[in-house]
Amino acid sequence: MLRLGQLASLLCVLAALPIAAQSAPSSAVQTGVHPGVQTGVLPAVQSGVQNDVQPGIKSTVPTGIQTATPPTPTVLPAATPAFDSLARPSIVPSPLAQPTLSPGVLLLMELEGRFSQSVATGGGKAFATWFADDAVTLNNGRPAVLGRASIAAQAQWDPKTYQLIWTPQGAQMGPSNDMGFTWGHYEGRSSDKNGQPVLVTGRYFTVWKKVPDGTWKVALDASSNEPPASGECCVLPKP
């Protein structure tokens, strides 16, 4: 049998065991640390967030704590430079390849365009109104016509039966800027007595001058038939 003193000591030991068992889990719950895991991880992660640590930059994580390996940055191809309209071109185009027209030439070409459009819709009557009082016209196989009145008397065609159109191909303004000339290609379309189409083509030459009232009028209008095709010049007529 146990002595009374030994029994009392055994009871004291048994009474102390539950207290120790309860204190151990309490410590583990408060810290949240599992066995075998190093402490101090959470403060280190928070420190990295507060310092705005970017991938590939050294952080302040204490030694001994494993951190996630940052992803390898993807190298993108160089972007194509945006077009700059103000940038100087590397190759300056030759002025001969892109010629510019002087203001005087532009004026003559504009006058010629208005003249042609007026005649296309108004016929012979509109044709005569563009000539100066002392103008002259020259045509193949015909005598010269002098003066606007004589020109108007001969220009009596109806645009419904005869269409005269022309296209300027060049122009030149004189040094005084009050006289110049244009030249180009013309076409005249009509029908014969049988209703068959008739086409006449040729070259023309027009001299423009500025009259005292400031307007521009035709001083000379000359035309010639289309030149013969290559190889047909000076060929003797066939018998």
* Rounded-to-integer distance, Cα 185 and Cα 202, Å: 6
pLDDT at residue number 141? 83
Q: Could you read off the pLDDT of 104-147 as tens digits, one per residue?
A: 999 999 999 999 999 999 999 999 999 999 999 999 888 999 99
98-107 long-range contacts, CB within 8 A, separation 24+: 102/173, 104/173, 104/177, 104/180, 105/171, 105/172, 105/173, 105/180, 107/173, 107/180, 107/216
For the stretch 66-86, what's the b/e string if a residue is b when 16 or more beta carbons lie within 10 angstroms of its beta carbon?
Answer: eeeeeeeeeeeeeeeeeeeee
- Cβ atoms 130, 155 nearer than 8 A: no
Segment 15-37 shows an average pLDDT of: 45
Q: Give the chain's mean pLDDT.
A: 72
Tokens of 95: 């002025």
Domain extent listing, the chain: 103-225
Tokens of 163: 């269409």
Predicted TM-score (pTM) of the model is: 0.55
Inform me whether the pLDDT recorded for 164 exceeds 50.
yes
Q: What are phi and psi of 8, to 5 degrees?
A: -65, -40
Q: Could you read off the pLDDT of 49-75 as tens digits, one per residue?
A: 344 444 444 344 444 444 445 555 555
Q: Which of 1-15, 78-92, 131-145, 198-212 has the lowest mean pLDDT?
A: 78-92
Picking from 130, 119, 114, 131, the residue whose alpha carbon sits closest to that of residue 188 is 119
pLDDT at residue number 30? 42
- Cβ atoms 122, 152 nearer than 8 A: no
pLDDT top residue among 161 and 25: 161
The arrangement of secondary structure in 103-225, i.e. its CATH architecture, is Roll (3.10)
Inform me whether the pLDDT recorded for 28 exceeds 70.
no
Tokens of 7: 């029994």
pLDDT at residue number 101? 85
Q: Please list the residues that pair with 217 across neighbouring strands.
A: 209
Q: What are phi and psi of 64, to 5 degrees?
A: 100, -10
Residue 3, Ramachandran bin (φ over 0: left; ψ between -120 and 50: alpha; else beta):
beta
